[in-house]
């Protein structure tokens, strides 16, 4: 008899990886395509990070520093945490997985939204945990429904703030009152992958939430170098949390979970204020321009606290996605999430944004969605 796989593993739908851009180009017979589909940094990576990687290339025969010492130090100093309150991961995905490994046993419950970042549910399923999933309400996390669903088996609540794919943020006051009502036995994971792009007054004071947990639930904030810092390809993210929670994550993480190049690149990137500033400014300006152009065409753009936004294209989103792919512009259809007429686009460089707008115009006319 073949080795048996448990039902919770069999039923997992693999994360949709997408084809390499070269394969798509071959399949669709296009060249010079642009990818505005994965919320990456359109301006590349910090030149300082690239330089640090080049310098570290002579040391690849050594294992990386398993404590991530200097990167932990840099993050702790920058955000005012102590070093035992910072955990580094192979992308923030890695920390999501460590949290579930540390806190969730078979039958334990984890609360999330739909749609939101897909990895939360997947890792819970691997663990044999129970996903309690709540539909967004008006494109926002339904905090009331989540609160009402908490039981003594609830271990974690994942809230991506801002949410992917809707780009909406929780109003800080609403979040603080939600947290104050949760029992101490629950940990709320605030996934702040896009925090850098948020308006200042929408940002949550995670420092106070993590430092003052007396009498209420714990809070973990997740951050990543994949977006505003332009290092998606090298995989590095981090979590801010109490030293106690961090101690448990260190027990379950892999000993060398972050490679050497990622460590030096992240240290350089976090101090490269010039590249970071250019990214934020370019994103802000590009988003304003794109949204104005999109609305002029008769589509409706949704407001956004991230480097991407949703557009109601007034017709089937997947047909539009296909039409744009044939012209070398890669975006996302939100149809699978239940938003039939909605696409998601990442803000690109000026040239990419112009190409997106021209292609969108052509395709909308071709499909007869708007005049
Ligand atoms: C909300 C959210 N969280 C986490 C991640 C994963 O980030 P990382 O590249 O650090 O694993 C993403 C990636 O797109 C995301 O959208």
Query: In this structure, are 266 and 134 located in the same domain?
Result: yes
Q: Is there a domain that residue 62 lies in?
A: yes
Q: Whose CA is nearest to atom 7 of ligand 1?
A: 92
Q: Is there a domain that residue 1 lies in?
A: no
pTM: 0.96
Residue 144 lies in domain: 47-270
Among candidates 265, 205, 253, 233, which has minimal Cα distance to 88? 253
Q: Which of 206, 235, 270 is the last residue of a domain?
A: 270
Which residue of 17, 141, 224, 259 sits with most ligand 1 atoms within 8 Å of its CB, as the best mutation to test the pocket? 224
Query: In this structure, are 316 and 252 located in the same domain?
Result: no
Average pLDDT, the chain: 96
Q: Is there a domain that residue 289 lies in?
A: yes
Query: In this structure, are 222 and 357 located in the same domain?
Result: no
Query: In this structure, are 261 and 302 located in the same domain?
Result: no
Is the distance from the beta carbon of residue 286 to the nearest atom of ligand 1 less than 6 Å? no
Is the distance from the beta carbon of residue 306 to the nearest atom of ligand 1 less than 6 Å? no
Query: In this structure, are 227 and 290 located in the same domain?
Result: no
Quote the tokens at residue 230: 């332009």
**How large is the average pLDDT for residues 293-318?**
97
Q: DSSP class of residue 64? A: P
Q: Is there a domain that residue 68 lies in?
A: yes
**How large is the average pLDDT for residues 173-179?**
96
Confidence of residue 37 (pLDDT cuts 50, 70, 90): very high
Ligand 1, closest atom to CA 116? Answer: 1
Q: Which of 270, 293, 310 is the last residue of a domain?
A: 270
User: What contacts 240, CB < 8 A, 6 or more positions away?
Assistant: 75, 79, 81, 85, 86, 206, 207, 210, 220, 221, 223
Round to whole Å and give the CA distance between 80 and 124: 31
Query: In this structure, are 323 and 254 located in the same domain?
Result: no
- Tell me the percentage of the chain whose pLDDT exceeds 90: 93
Residue listed under structure tokens 């398993």: 66
Which residue of 226, 236, 262 sits with most ligand 1 atoms within 8 Å of its CB, as the best mutation to test the pocket? 226
Query: In this structure, are 153 and 31 located in the same domain?
Result: no
Query: In this structure, are 227 and 251 located in the same domain?
Result: yes
Instruction: State how beta strands 300-301 and 308-312 pair.
Output: antiparallel
Query: In this structure, are 128 and 228 located in the same domain?
Result: yes
Q: Which of 216, 235, 270 is the last residue of a domain?
A: 270
- Domain at 148, CATH number: 3.40.640.10
Say which range, 8-17, 21-30, 63-72, has the weakest mean pLDDT: 8-17
Instruction: State how beta strands 109-114 and 154-160 pair.
Output: parallel
Q: Into how many domains does the chain fold?
A: 2
3-class state of residue 354 by DSSP:
helix
Q: Is there a domain that residue 70 lies in?
A: yes
3-class state of residue 14 by DSSP:
coil
């Amino acid at each position: 008899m073949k080795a048996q796989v448990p039902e919770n593993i069999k039923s997992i739908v693999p994360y949709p990886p997408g084809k390499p851009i070269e394969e798509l180009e071959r399949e669709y017979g296009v060249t010079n395509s642009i990818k505005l589909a994965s919320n990456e940094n359109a301006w590349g990576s910090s030149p300082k990070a690239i330089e640090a990687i080049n310098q570290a290339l002579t040391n690849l025969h050594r294992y990386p520093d398993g404590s991530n010492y200097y990167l932990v130090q840099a993050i702790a100093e920058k955000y005012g945490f102590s070093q035992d309150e910072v955990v580094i991961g192979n992308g923030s995905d890695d920390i999501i997985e460590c949290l579930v490994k540390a806190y969730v046993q078979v039958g334990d419950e984890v609360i999330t939204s739909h749609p939101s970042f897909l990895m939360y549910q997947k890792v819970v399923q691997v663990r044999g945990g129970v996903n309690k999933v709540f539909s967004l309400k008006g494109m926002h996390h339904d905090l009331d429904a989540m609160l009402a669903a908490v039981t003594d088996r609830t271990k974690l609540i994942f809230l991506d703030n801002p949410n992917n794919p809707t780009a909406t943020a929780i109003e800080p006051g609403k979040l603080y009152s939600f947290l104050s009502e949760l029992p101490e036995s629950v940990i709320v994971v605030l996934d702040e992958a896009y925090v850098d792009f948020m308006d200042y007054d929408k940002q949550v004071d995670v420092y106070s939430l993590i430092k003052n947990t007396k009498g209420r639930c714990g809070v973990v904030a997740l951050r990543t170098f994949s977006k505003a810092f332009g290092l998606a390809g090298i995989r590095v993210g981090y979590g801010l949390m109490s030293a106690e929670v961090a101690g448990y994550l260190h027990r379950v993480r892999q000993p060398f979970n972050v490679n050497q190049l990622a460590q030096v690149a992240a240290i350089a990137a976090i101090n490269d204020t010039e590249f970071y500033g250019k990214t934020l400014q370019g994103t802000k300006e590009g988003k304003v321009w794109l949204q104005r152009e999109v609305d002029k065409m008769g589509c409706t753009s949704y407001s956004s606290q991230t480097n991407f936004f949703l557009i109601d294209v007034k017709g089937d989103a997947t047909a539009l996605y296909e039409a744009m792919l044939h012209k070398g512009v890669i975006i996302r259809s939100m149809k699978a999430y239940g938003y039939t007429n909605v696409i998601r686009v990442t803000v690109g460089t000026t040239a990419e944004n112009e190409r997106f707008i021209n292609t969108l115009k052509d395709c909308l006319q071709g499909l007869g969605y708007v005049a």
